[in-house]
Amino acid sequence: MPKSADTKFSRYKKAGTETVNRIIANSVGEVGSGKTHFWLGAPGPILFQSLDLGLEGVVETYAADKEIYVAQYDMGASIGESFTVSKAKDARDQFIEDFEDALSKFRTIVWDRETDVFDLFYRAEFGTDDAYGAAPPKDWDLLKSKLRRMIALAKSTTINFGLIQGMKNEWVQTTSKNSGKKTATQSGNRVPKGMEDIDALVHMNLFHERQGKDFMVTVGKSRGPGGFDVQGETFGGVDFKTLAMMVFPDSDESDWE
What is the four-CA torsion angle of 188, 190, 193, 197, rounded to 10 degrees? Answer: -100
The answer to whether position 229 is within a domain reads no
The answer to whether position 214 is within a domain reads no
The answer to whether position 8 is within a domain reads no
Domain that holds residue 88: 21-207
20-35 per-position pLDDT tens digit = 999 999 999 999 999 9
The answer to whether position 73 is within a domain reads yes
Residues of the chain with pLDDT under 70: 1-6, 53-54, 76-80, 128-138
192-217 per-position pLDDT tens digit = 999 989 999 999 999 999 999 999 99
Q: What is the DSSP letter of 2?
A: P
Contact yes or no for 85/108 (Cβ under 8 A): no
Q: Spell out where the chain has E strands.
A: 24-29, 46-50, 68-72, 108-112, 160-175, 182-193, 204-211, 214-222, 234-236
Across the chain, mean pLDDT equals: 89
Task: Give the total number of structural domains in the chain.
Answer: 1
The answer to whether position 53 is within a domain reads yes
Alpha-carbon distance of 148 to 135, in angstroms, equals 18
Bridge-based pairing of strands 160-175 and 182-193 is antiparallel
The answer to whether position 182 is within a domain reads yes
Indicate the SS3 state at residue 91. helix
Whole-model pTM: value is 0.90
Q: What is the pLDDT of residue 21?
A: 96
User: What CATH number is given to the structural domain containing 134?
Assistant: 3.40.50
The answer to whether position 219 is within a domain reads no
Alpha-carbon distance of 26 to 223, in angstroms, equals 13
The answer to whether position 215 is within a domain reads no
